[in-house]
Amino acid sequence: MVGTASRRSGWLGRRVVALAIVLGVTCPAHAQTGPYFEPQSLDPAGYELRVSADYHDASRSDFTRPIFLMAQGLSRLHARQLAVTFDLRLSITPSLALQIVLPWLVRDVAAEGVNLVVSADQSLPPRSWTLSSWGLGDPTLAVGYRFWRAMPWSAYAELGATIPIDDNPGAASLPQRVPLGTGQHELFAGIGATLDRPVALSLNYRIGYSPGEHAAYLVRRVANQSYTSGALGAFAHHRFNAAGELALSKLFSVRLAPSLTFMQVPLLIERGGSRQLIHEQVAVELDLAAAVRLRLGDAHRLELRGSLPLVAATDLDPFYPIVIPARGVGIAWFFVGS
Amino acid sequence: MVLRRFLTALALAAIGCCWLAARAPAARAEPYGQFYRPQDTWNVLETKYFRIYYTQDTPKSAAYLRTLADSTFERLNQFYGYQPPTKIRVIIVGYTTFSNGFADSDHDRITIFTSTPDFHSRSRVPWFDNVFTHELAHILSLNTATHWWKRVPLVLGTGLARFQQAQTLIKLPIYGRNFPHWFAEGVAQFDTSLLGRDAFDENRGAFQRAAYEDRLMFPLEKLPFFGGEQWYNTGLSFLMYLEDRFGTGTVHRLFKDTGEHFDYLFDELFPRVLGIPLADLERDFRIVVAKRFDDHFAAVSGGRYDGKPLRFEHATAKYRDLEPEQRDQMREGFLGMPLRYLDGKLFFRQVGVVTYGDFSAKDGTLTNVKPLSPGSVVAPNSSDSYFVLKPERDDNPLIPTFFRPEFESQMLVLADTDGNTRTLLRESRLSEIDTCAARSELAGIYDDGDGSVKLALYKLSGFGTKAVAVRRDTLRFPLNELPFDEVRSPRYGPDCKKLYFSRRIGHDHDLFAYDLTTGALETIASEPAFELYPDPVRDGVYYVSSRDGTMNVYFKPYDDTAPRLVTQAITGHHHPIDTPDALVFGRLYGTGFQMHTQRHDEAPPPAAMIAVAEKDSPAPKPPLEGLLEDAYGYNPVSPKNLMPPSLVPLIDVEYDSARSWDGAVRIQAGVELYMQDEIARHVLLMRGYTGDQNSFLLDYDNSMLPVSFRVRAGWNDARGLWVYGGTGGRYEQITNDRWGFLWGSLRLPLNLFYTVSAVAETIRDVGVTTGARARQFDLGDPAYGRELFGGVLTYDGLDRRDPAFRERDINKRGYRQFTLAGYYGLERVHSTLARQDSTLRAGATPFFRGELNYSEFLALPALADGWFDQSLQFDLTLGYISADLDFFPFYGGGRLYSQAAPEYNASVGFSGYDFGSLRGETLANVGVRYRGPLARNLGWNIGPFFLNDVYFQVFTSWGNIWGYDPTGRRQRPFVDPASNGRYVLGDVGADLRLGHFIQQVESNVGTTLRLVYRLVPFSTCSDGSRNRSCIGPNGERGFMFYFIVGGGF
């Protein structure tokens, strides 16, 4: 996902892992991964349907750097999201697979403005308001090609795109709703390797590129009561995903998945040029996800999961709260068919 | 409110259909695939590797299959080691007289129609064992040979480009399986032969000799186009040749390698595995076939006793003088199978018609030839009336042929020489007949639909008169019951005391005579070979035997002496009929059976005594009692009765030069999912695209009840960028357009042809949002909306679900189809829109909508010795809407669609005009098309592209769509000009139609290049003005161009 950011937590190391395990929550990388990211996935050829529900909760109080959605002064922006995701991975050949990811999102954002200073000794109290929206988020289409398989190792490449659907804030001045997507296409390519045993390990690098497009939430005023859609410049991100899964029994396994992302902050395209919105050109985030997986027969698996940002970029990310960091818990059901 | 009306309409429709169902006649054979017969009770039987589905009509087949299935799987799978993810399913269909089996290897599924076929080119092995093993071999071999995941049969790419006066549509499939028919069918026969249930036997040998002799043994590279039986014959023969040449296991090595590599070009397989190109292998194989023929020719005395072709009066050509292609094209004029010699006339069957003529043995000619009736066999009633078995549904001249060969059993009719016919038995289940005047009796072969064809006897009343009738209550089966009995060719002896017939005993057929007085059974011939087609005469019986490896005619005297050889076939002889001076028989050619005759004095000299071979007693069939005790009832919603889904990835690209609102280019990708239960009681299709346009379609059909229902729902969401000019420059707005629909119908088939439906539909246009604005409309309160509630009567003169259906074949037979629909409708226009546009009428507007679509397809007599198979099509479209509508009136104009918006595809059109340029509330359109060939049977292939036929089509269409004047007055059709200023519009056009397919998959791909000329241009705009920019290209005479790849042939 473009511009995924997370909030600095200050929690590190064993405390996080211990808490996750105690809570029965292990972590996949929340960041989307391709159809061959996990060892032995789609082997033999078949399909895998993953239906998940994730609850995310993030908050930002540092507004020294602006965000795209709201131009008004803010003191706090608290975003909550329930994401129900349908993730279908489909073999075409034993080495080639298609992935379709459809997220269904319900969002709620509570915003609190800043004091309106009327004079040196007078100010109006801050105003609060809430926004909500629901609907289909940006879907992702990808293909993966497993070009090398020598048990227990495999290597693959992947190619895909995320397609914008809904970026409408509902009004040209103060947004009436939270857009469900950034309005930007993302084309991505990746490469990865897996190890089946003795411990299932995955490593993946993915580069994403957004060519820069118009977005409905970027509003340009061209005359009185006349607005057009603004646009962003091209930007890219680099993401490193890793995961390790340890089977504790035939039915039960635990999983840890860190991910590191370097995200380029896009330029805002103006009439006659472009403008850098914030001083930083790159935002960095480090997430750690953990999960517990239960094997419910040959075809079914259940996953309980949670994720925490170890190094967050929330305060830098101008897409917030259109993009909400993956801090939260979730549950997923996997169905593997042949 | 709307929802309440919708539900009320559905309820009323349901009540209406239930009432109709109560009055509906008892269902007879229903189309394959639908399996909709309320009287059927489906049961399920489980074995170790199989799940068998059967009804109360097929218990014996199910029980026998249980004894056969698992051991066959284990023996066959030694070659492949295939592990099916679930149990292999076998569907047994017994209510038809269709005879065949099909394997759906994508879903590990076999369908068997349990009517034992009559044969002339297949193995002697009991058919049920053969067909099951053959189809199971398909499942194992094709899955082993498939590199793609079998749930994804293909990836489909679609492309669309629209310009002002030209449109292009491309549908390009990439198939995961890329095997020619001969390869797939050849290995199924090869594997079956390894289990002793098939062989390249006397019939296969005869078929190959016939093709070779006529130079019609197609090269392997031509077999993707034509082949039919040659897929089986050449496939088996060639694979056996490879196995001989390269050693045991070669064939299976080829299949396993195919599963490890995907060959977009099939031929690449052979150099990789065998080190020799396919063309070189085939050349060597043909040398072997030629030698085989030469050896046989020498062994049968050079054809001296092969008989001579019976010459038809007025025949313009001799078969042997024709080139191979001409033989194939003109085949029907030479075909003939002798049936009887009655009252001094030779009766024979030619292309589905029982025909008779005066036969002269002296000069081998047939004169005064006349048709008696469509049908397959004939038996005497009187000197001018005959019993005939003819295809069901072929008796009403008002109803064109329903093309579903052998699906309904034949009906028994009485046909006289004046051309009159009278039906005696409908769906008789009889396949062969004879009659006996002295006993007032009819003997027939009765298909019980459960694997047996039995000898049946009916008493007749009024025999010899035109009032003859079949006494249905006298039906009896005189022979002892044998499991999977196969009796053929009943023929009464000259004195009517005995009834002769052939009957399967073990792995071949023997001849018997049933004493009609005592009930005793006498063996006439029972060697370990075929003995078929008894023709009892005064002093003995003519019949065909393959005792020396060739189907020759023999004569067995009644005095119990040894039989004597009468003919020696270069290919094979069948159905001998004795006449006073000569024998007439069917002789196999590369194009089918033709009649040969051999005078009695031309028979070969008596050979040394023929030593009759003794036949071993056949192994008894296993007992079937008690094998169904653990069967259980079929549950169509049980997960284990759901067929695994098929998934087709889709990629779609559109370019529309006229679409500036949300971008000219749209790119979408998606997937289509199809699934159903095993006997197709309910079916689900889902198709979703995402990209520049997001769309979702759900289509569910349920046939569990006498009244079927179907629901479709769709949603579309298109995002775009609207670029426009303004003061100070160029501006952009993000756009978002959404609309959806919900459609439901209750459907009641009245008979094979007519279906009545109750339909309810709503379409909701949520409108376009630009930039960062709140959406003004939603599904409950749309910008535009339309509801329809009504009834539809459809007539369909063909069944495209028929397993044997091929579009090209049906086009040669002619058919008719029409749809008559009437609806009550409501149009909804949001008040916000009406405030912005005073021409719009806010709120709900009720209206009536009526439509008639009628098509008559006429197959004209072929010209140029059958090469020019011309056809004529007549189309009539009429429509009436009672109110002036803004949303979805009738639209006209040519428009091509990719798969992204299927629900718009119902519009009518004049292809010479822009889409949407014609619109209004009264529609009349008449079209005429004429088709004919430019080149046929080309058999060209370049890489994965196979081109077979090039046809032309010329067409014209006339009519108009009338609406309302700006004053609000309704325009009267043909009396007032329409809004385009014309009373009538018309265009003429021509198509170049290419019959082709892609890879080795013989599918109906097809390409059409269309050029249409607007004969009558618009003279005014819809507002009555004569502004040329408004009229656009429609305002001048000119061309429209279409280029359609993958639109079907």
Distance from CA of B176 to the nearest CA of A (A): 8
pLDDT at B523: 94
pLDDT digits (tens, 9 = 90+) for B395-405: 554 444 555 55
Between the alpha carbon of residue B932 and those of residues B813, B865, B969, the distances in Å are 14, 14, 45
Contact: B694, A136; criterion CB under 8 Å: yes
Structure tokens at B287: 């040398």
**What are the angstrom distances between the C-alpha of B824 and each of B811, B828, B880, B922?**
36, 14, 12, 16
Q: How confident is the model at residue B857 (pLDDT cuts 50, 70, 90)?
A: confident
User: For residue B938, what pLDDT is reported?
Assistant: 85
Q: Chain B contact for A165, CB < 8 A?
A: yes
Main-chain dihedrals φ then ψ at residue B225, nearest 5 degrees: -90, -55
Measured between alpha carbons, how far is A248 from A294 in angstroms, rounded to an integer?
10
Least confident range of A75-79, B4-8, B332-336: B4-8
Residues of B in contact with A211 (CB under 8 A): none
- Nearest by CB: B731 against A165, A169, A228: A228
Contact with chain A for residue B259, Cβ under 8 A: no
> Above 90 in pLDDT, residue B177?
no
Average pLDDT in chain A: 87
Residue A211: cis peptide before it, omega within 30 degrees of 0: no
What is the distance, to the nearest Å, from the Cα of residue B689 to the centroid of all Cα atoms in its chain? 31
pLDDT tens digit sequence for B698-709: 999 998 887 889
**Distance separating alpha carbons of residues A32 and A137, to the nearest angstrom:** 14
Cβ–Cβ below 8 Å for A222 and B728:
yes
Which amino acid, one-letter code, is at B439?
R
Interface of B with A in 114-153 (CB under 8 A): 147-149, 151-152
Q: Looking at residues B230-251, what average pLDDT do you find?
A: 95
Closest to A93 (Cβ–Cβ): which among B147, B719, B775? B147
pLDDT higher than 80, residue B146: yes
Min mean pLDDT across B244-258, B801-815, B880-894 is at B801-815
Looking at residue A7, its amino acid is: R
Are B550 and B569 contacting, i.e. CB atoms less than 8 angstroms apart? Answer: yes
pLDDT, tens only, A145-156: 999 999 899 999
Give the separation between CA B1011 and CA B1039, rounded to whole angstroms.
Answer: 7
Question: How many beta carbons lie within 10 A of that of residue B521, not counting itself?
Answer: 14
Q: Does residue A336 sit at the B interface (CB-CB below 8 Å)?
A: no
Please give the Cα distance from B358 to B364 (Å, whole number). 10
**Beta pairing partners, A271:** none
Residue A314, min C-alpha distance to chain B (Å): 24
Alpha-carbon span B20 to A132, nearest angstrom: 51
B524 vs A31: CA distance, rounded Å:
82
Tell me the per-residue pLDDT of B496-528, one tens digit each, with 9 for 90 and over: 999 999 999 988 899 999 999 999 999 999 998
pLDDT in tens, B272-315: 999 999 999 999 999 999 999 999 999 999 999 999 999 998 88
Q: Which of B671, B690, B734 sits opposite A229 (nearest CB)?
A: B734
CB crowding B151-176: b at 16 or more within 10 Å, else e: bbbbbbbbbbbbeebebbbbbebbbb
Cβ–Cβ below 8 Å for B644 and A163: no
Residues of chain B in contact with residue A90, where contact means CB-CB under 8 angstroms, are 149, 151-152, 647, 649, 671
Instruction: Enumerate residues 6+ apart whose C-beta is below 8 A from B379.
Output: B340, B386, B387, B433, B434, B435, B442
- How does strand B88-93 pair with strand B109-113? parallel
| CA B666/CA A111 separation, integer angstroms | 37
Q: What DSSP character marks residue B894?
A: B
A183 touches chain B (CB under 8 A): yes
CB of A223 less than 8 A from some CB of B = yes
Predicted confidence at residue B226, as pLDDT, reads 67
Q: What are phi and psi of A331, to 5 degrees?
A: -140, 140
Q: Domain map of chain A by residue range?
A: 8-337
Give tens-digit pLDDT for B579-619: 999 999 999 999 999 999 999 999 888 765 577 777 877 77
Higher pLDDT, B1001 or B1011: B1011
Q: Are B671 and A98 in contact (CB < 8 Å)?
A: yes
Examine the pLDDT at A284 and tell me if it is beyond 90. Answer: yes
Interface predicted TM-score (ipTM): 0.83
CA distance B425 to B472: 9
Dump the DSSP string for A200-238. Answer: EEEEEEEEEEE---EEEEEEEEEETTEEEEEEE--EEEE
Segment B56-68 mean pLDDT: 95
Partners of residue B644 in chain A, C-beta under 8 Å: 337
Name which of B149, B229, B143, B248 is nearest B189 in CA terms.
B229
Residue appearing with tokens 């029994």: A249
Strand A214-223 and strand A153-162: pairing? unpaired
Contacts of B493 by beta carbon, 8 Å cutoff, 6+ apart: B499, B500, B513, B536
Query: At A297, is the pLDDT very low, low, confident or very high (cuts 50, 70, 90)?
Result: confident
Between CA B272 and CA B265 the distance in angstroms is 12
Q: How many CB pairs under 8 A join A and B?
A: 108
A88 CA to chain B: closest CA distance, Å?
A: 10
Query: Could you tell me which residues are beta bridge partners of residue B768?
Result: B737
Q: In chain A, which residues have their Cβ closer than 8 Å to the Cβ of B148?
A: 45, 92-93
State the amino acid at position A164 in one-letter form: P
Band of pLDDT at residue B1025, cut at 50, 70 and 90: confident
**Of B470 and B692, more confident:** B470
Alpha-carbon distance of A102 to A184, in angstroms, equals 16
- CB contact B256 to A (< 8 Å): no
Residue for token pair 């028979």: B603
Confidence of residue A16 (pLDDT cuts 50, 70, 90): very low
Give yes or no for residue A24 having a pLDDT over 60: no
Among candidate residues A186, A227, A204, A164, the one with its CA nearest the CA of residue A29:
A204
3-class SS string, B827-884: EEECHHHHHHCCCCCCEEEEEEEEEEEEEEEEECCCECCCCECCEEEEEEEEEEECCC
| Alpha-carbon torsion (B92, B93, B99, B102), positive or negative | negative
Lowest mean pLDDT across B806-815, B914-923, B995-1004: B806-815
Percent of chain A predicted with pLDDT > 70: 91
| Alpha-carbon distance B1033 to nearest alpha carbon in chain A (angstroms) | 33
* Three-class SS of B677-708: ECCCCEEEEEEEEEECEEEEEEEEEECCCCCE
pLDDT at B317: 84
Q: What is the pLDDT, as a whole number, of residue B306?
A: 97
The confidence score (pLDDT) of residue B229 equals 82
pLDDT tens-digit map of B364-413: 999 999 999 999 999 999 999 999 999 876 555 444 455 555 667 889 99
Strands B100-104 and B682-691, by their bridges, are: unpaired
Mind listing the pLDDT tens digit for each residue in B925-963? 999 999 999 998 888 888 888 888 899 999 999 999 999
Query: Taking the mean position of all CA atoms in its chain, how far away is CA B626?
Result: 37
Residues of A in contact with B728 (CB under 8 A): 222
Mean pLDDT of chain B: 88
CB within 8 Å of B22: residues ≥ 6 apart: none
Q: Report which of residues A309 and B72 the model is more confident about.
A: B72
Alpha carbon distance A140, B417 (integer Å):
73
pLDDT value of residue B326: 86
A100 SS3 class: strand
Strand-strand pairing, A300-311 and A267-270: unpaired
pLDDT digits (tens, 9 = 90+) for B700-753: 999 888 788 999 999 999 888 888 876 667 788 899 999 999 999 999 888 777
Beta strand spans in B96-219 (E): 100-104, 109-113, 154-162, 166-175
Q: Is A195 on the interface with B (CB under 8 A)?
A: no
Please give the radius of gyration of chain A, using alpha carbons only, rounded to the nearest integer: 21
3-state secondary structure of B228: coil
Taking the CA of residue A142 and the nearest CA in chain B, the distance in Å comes to: 10
How do residues B421-464 score in pLDDT, each as one tens digit? 999 998 899 999 999 999 999 999 999 989 999 999 999 999 99
- Which of B149, B644, B671 is the closest to A100 by Cβ? B671
Q: pLDDT tens across B770-828, in order?
A: 899 888 899 999 999 999 999 999 988 776 666 666 666 655 667 788 999 999 999 99
The reply to whether B1038 touches chain A by the CB within 8 Å rule is no
- Which of B951, B948, B806 lies closest to B222, judged by CA? B948
Q: pLDDT band at residue B480, thresholds of 50, 70 and 90?
A: very high
- Which residue on chain B is closest to A102 by alpha carbon? B690
**Strand B665-676 to strand B682-691: parallel, antiparallel, or no bridges (unpaired)?**
antiparallel
Facing A216 at nearest CB: one of B647, B717, B734? B734
Q: Where are the alpha helices (DSSP H) in B195-277?
A: 202-213, 229-246, 250-260, 269-274
- The dihedral region occupied by B1042, where left means phi > 0, alpha psi between -120 and 50, and beta the remainder, is beta
Confidence grade of residue B179 (pLDDT, cut at 50, 70, 90): confident
Closest CA to B962 of B954, B974, B951: B974
- Residue A174, chain B, CB below 8 Å: the answer is no
Burial B449-470 (b: 16+ CB within 10 A, else e): bbbbbbbbbbbbeebeeeebbb
**Which among A93, A170, A172 has the least Cβ separation from residue B148?**
A93
- A136 Cβ under 8 Å from any chain B Cβ: yes
Tell the CATH topology of A8-337: Porin (2.40.160)
Candidates B86, B662, B671, B719, partner chain A, best to mutate (most A CBs within 10 A) = B719
